[in-house]
Amino acid sequence: MSLSISLTVNGAARAVTLDDPRVTLLDLLRERLDLTGTKKGCDRGQCGACTVLLDGRRINACLTLALACDDADVVTIEGLADGDVLHPVQAAFLAHDALQCGFCTPGQIMSAVGLVAEGQAGDDPERVREGMSGNLCRCGAYDGITAAVLDAQRRIAEQGKARAA
Amino acid sequence: MNSFEYVRPATIAEAVAAGAAPGAAFLAGGTNLLDLLKGDLMRPTRLVDVTRLAELGRIERLPGGGVRIGALVRNADLAHDQPFASDFPAVAEALLSGASAQVRNAATVGGNLLQRTRCVWFYDVASACNRRAPGTGCDARGGEGRGDAVLGWSEACIATHPSDFCVPLVALDAVVEIAGPAGRREVPLDLFHRLPGDAPERDSVLAPGELVVAVRLPPEAAAFAAHARYLKLRERTSFAFAVVSAAAALRMEAGGIVAARIALGGVAAKPWRARAAEDVLAGARPDGTVFRRAAEAALADARPSGPDATRIELARRIVARALALAAAGTPARVPALPASPFAPIPGAAAHV
């Protein structure tokens, strides 16, 4: 089988021919498409630094084979902001000081975007913490992260209401 | 990671044919397989990507109340399917207690059944492991004993099956539908995983090329919906495998137990159905004494593989406590911390 795939990354169609079947989605993004915002932490699905949206759902890019992403829609941290206007989750992370060194932050933010879209956590901090347990932060910024996710979720809901009105 | 040929069949028949070749492995969500490939723990020469087999992605209600879950249904989609979670709440709770949200979005029903053990010696290629490399021995023997089996183990292997999902499934008499080179067949989940014996390298009864296509729950399983829980002891509250776990489901009438279903996780190379414990409970009044008797029956055959028997008593307590939680009634919604022992037991002391 050919090692050529087509996928959409941050809204742009990309055609890629891989030189090796072993390439993960994470390595495709970082090493072939120069999208280095997505981080490689553990590379084994345990830390969440590589979290991206695949067909709208948050997943670990390190545990996803690039070849299996043929025809997929991928959104990375680089695809969130609208020009200079930050995505509400990005803005909330700044407002709540939800990071220290920042290495886990792209994964945290993509995971939070996925969590809000899933709509299972509501305004319960415990459900947010549980829902974010796939993202480790070695600086221990968890309090700020939880506050940012709750705040961003509120803002996104308000935006949705404003648009509907 | 060794290299491999990648194929993407369009039909089940093509997948079975491609998967029957020596060295072939099926790829679905990949959450376990990619990890195993990176660790050089499995070295397939061909990956058969089955994710485009759309017919395996459905949740179907069966006439009479059962459900047929396609092998490619993602863990998160099943857990959040409202009709499914209402009828089989312990299964939903078990799913949501496993891994992380990212993994649950990718991991599939079939892959969950077929995930390999998380025994640390299996994962360390420098260690002897009969399951990973037959005939090399078992360095887990004489080790720390934290994750070792206490039921059904052999001299060759003391690894456990790590699934949460399979525990309530086996309690509720789930059946595995399989497609293979010789056609279709069905195997009760209780007979799907193999105990190690002297061939621990074979996790399940699947033959080469055989593909799990669905898991079915019978109509009777939904009769336990009002009193069904999963309880999982972990070394941290979230995103950890079970030290020991239990699914408990009761059918109750007029305050008495009519029928019980109990299974344990993290104690054997398969999800462990505890029928002797179920017999203790049938016809009994629910109280702490009978729950403890049931728990003792569930672990009656348990023996430690080393000097530390702590996990046998932990398993008894988790069974008794899961029964107390089930008797108190299924909560309207899966708790914020699914299957967590840190949640209070309604109307009971914290320590059972």
The whole-angstrom distance between B103's CA and the closest CA on chain A is 6
Q: Which of residues A26, A55, A79 is at a domain's end? A: A79
Highest mean pLDDT among A130-144, A149-163, B338-352: A130-144
How high is the pLDDT of residue B344? Answer: 65
Whether A109 and A150 share a structural domain: yes
Residue A158 distance to chain B (closest CA, Å): 24
Q: Where are the alpha helices (DSSP H) in B97-233?
A: 101-106, 109-114, 120-123, 166-171
Which has the closest alpha carbon to B62: B70, B74, B53?
Answer: B70
Based on the domain organization, do A101 and A149 belong to the same domain?
yes
H or E, element range at A46: none
Per the CB < 8 Å rule, is A65 touching B6? yes
Instruction: State whether B100 and A133 contact (CB < 8 Å).
Output: yes
Q: Mean of the pLDDT values across residues B164-185?
A: 98
**Spatial separation of the C-alpha atoms in residues A131 and B99, rounded to whole Å:** 11
ipTM above threshold 0.95:
yes
Whether pLDDT at A85 is above 70: yes
Residue pair B59/B73 in contact (Cβ under 8 Å)? The answer is yes
Residue B192: the pLDDT is 98
- CA B307, CA B303: separation in Å to the nearest integer? 10
- Give me the mean pLDDT over the B20-41 stretch: 98
Question: How sure is the predictor about B346, in pLDDT bands with cuts at 50, 70 and 90?
Answer: low
Least Cα distance to A90 among A104, A72, A60, A110 occurs for A110
Look at B101 and A3 and tell me if their CB atoms are within 8 Å: no
pLDDT in tens, B53-94: 999 999 999 998 899 999 999 999 999 999 999 999 999 999
Taking contacts as CB-CB distances below 8 angstroms, the residues of chain A near B7 are 1
- Whole-number pLDDT of residue B64: 87
Would the pLDDT of B350 be above 70? no
Instruction: List the beta bridge partners of residue A154.
Output: none
Min mean pLDDT across A66-70, B64-68, B132-136, B145-149 is at B145-149
- Which of A4, A16, A22, A70 to mutate to test binding with chain B, by most B CBs within 10 Å of its CB? A22
Which residues of B touch chain A, with CB atoms under 8 Å apart? 1, 3-8, 27, 30-31, 34-35, 37-38, 47, 49, 51, 76, 80, 99-103, 105-106, 238-239, 336-338
The predicted pLDDT at position B306 comes to 86
pLDDT bracket for residue B338 (50, 70, 90): very high
Q: How far apart are CA A52 and CA A137, in angstroms?
A: 17
Contacts of A161 (CB under 8 A, 6+ apart): none
Inter-chain contact B336–A130, Cβ cutoff 8 Å?
yes
Minimal Cβ distance to B31: which of A45, A51, A118? A45
CB atoms B80 and A21 under 8 Å: no
**CA-based nearest residue to B83, from B104, B100, B107, B67:** B67
Give the minimum alpha-carbon distance from A15 to chain B in angstroms, rounded to a whole number. Answer: 18
- Check residues B304 and B346 and name the one with the higher pLDDT: B304
- Place B349 in a pLDDT band, splitting at 50, 70 and 90: low
Q: How high is the mean pLDDT of chain B?
A: 95
**Distance in Å, alpha carbon of B49 to nearest chain A alpha carbon:** 7
Helices B288-298, B310-328: axis angle to 10 degrees equals 140
Indicate if the pLDDT at residue B121 is higher than 80: yes
Residues A155 and A99 in one domain: yes
Show the tokens assigned to B128.
């002897």
State the Cα–Cα distance between residues B45 and B40, nearest whole angstrom. 12
Do A95 and A69 lie in one domain? The reply is no
What's the rounded mean pLDDT across residues A28-55?
Answer: 98
Question: What is the nearest CA distance from A157 to chain B, expressed in angstroms?
Answer: 21
Q: What is the pLDDT of residues B18-27, one digit of tens each?
A: 999 999 999 9
The DSSP-derived string for B146-175 is SS--SSS--SS-------STHHHHHHTT-E
Which position has the higher pLDDT, B138 or A164? Answer: B138
Helices (H), B176-309: 275-281, 288-298
Query: Which CATH number characterizes residue A136's domain?
Result: 1.10.150.120
The nearest alpha carbon in chain A to B4 belongs to A21
pLDDT at B352 over 80: no
Q: Is the pLDDT of residue B39 over 80?
A: yes
Q: Are A105 and A59 in a shared domain?
A: no
Average pLDDT of every residue of chain A: 97
Domain match, A65 and A124 both: no
Q: Shortest CB distance from A114 goes to which of B101, B336, B338?
A: B101
Q: Which of B5, B6, B238 is opposite residue A130, by nearest beta carbon? A: B238
Running DSSP on this structure, what letter comes out for residue A13?
E
CATH number at residue A34: 3.10.20.30
B122 versus B346: the higher-pLDDT residue is B122
Domain boundary among A79, A111, A132: A79
Q: Which of B46, B36, B43, B59 is nearest to B14 (CA)?
A: B46
Domains of chain B with CATH codes: 5-48 (3.30.43), 225-328 (3.30.390.50)
Q: Which of A124, A127, A133, A137 best tests the B interface by mutation, with the highest count of B CBs <10 A? A: A133
Count residue pairs from A and B with Cβ separation < 8 A: 98
Helix axes A105-118, A142-164, angle to 10 degrees: 50
Q: How far is B116 from chain A (nearest CA, A)?
A: 15
Same domain, A153 and A132: yes
Are A75 and A93 in the same domain? Answer: no
Instruction: Report whether pLDDT(B252) > 90.
Output: yes
Residues of B in contact with A24 (CB under 8 A): 34
CB contact under 8 A, B105 and A57: yes
Domain count, chain A: 2
Say whether pLDDT at B209 is over 80.
Answer: yes
A101 and A119 inside one domain: yes
Per-residue pLDDT for B348 more than 60? Answer: no
Of A1, A54, A133, the CB nearest to B6: A1
**Do the bridges between strand B175-180 and strand B211-217 make them parallel or antiparallel, or are there none, so unpaired?**
antiparallel
Range in A23-37, B2-16, B57-71, B140-154 the model is least confident about: B140-154
- Give pLDDT, residue A164: 81
- Of B35, B38, B239, Cβ closest to residue A133: B239
The residue in chain A having the minimum alpha-carbon distance to the alpha carbon of residue B81 is: A120
- Max Cα separation, chain A? 51
Cβ <8 Å between B1 and A134 = no
Contact predicate B253/B193, CB 8 Å: no
The fraction of chain B above a pLDDT of 90, given in percent, is 93
Inter-residue contact B30 to B36 (CB < 8 Å): no
The encoded tokens of residue A13 equal 């169609």
pLDDT given for residue B36 in this prediction: 98
Q: Residue A1 has what pLDDT?
A: 57
Domain residues for the domain of A55 are 4-79
* Whole-number Å distance between alpha carbons of B130 and B261: 33
pLDDT of residue B145: 66
pLDDT in tens, B282-295: 999 999 999 999 99
**A30, A48, A79 - which closes a domain:** A79
Q: 3-state class of A65 per DSSP?
A: strand
Task: Tell me the residue ranges of DSSP E strands in chain A.
Answer: 4-9, 12-17, 51-54, 57-60, 73-75
Among B253, B279, B52, B245, CA closest to B147: B245
- List of chain A residues whose C-beta atoms are within 8 Å of the C-beta of residue B76: 57, 118
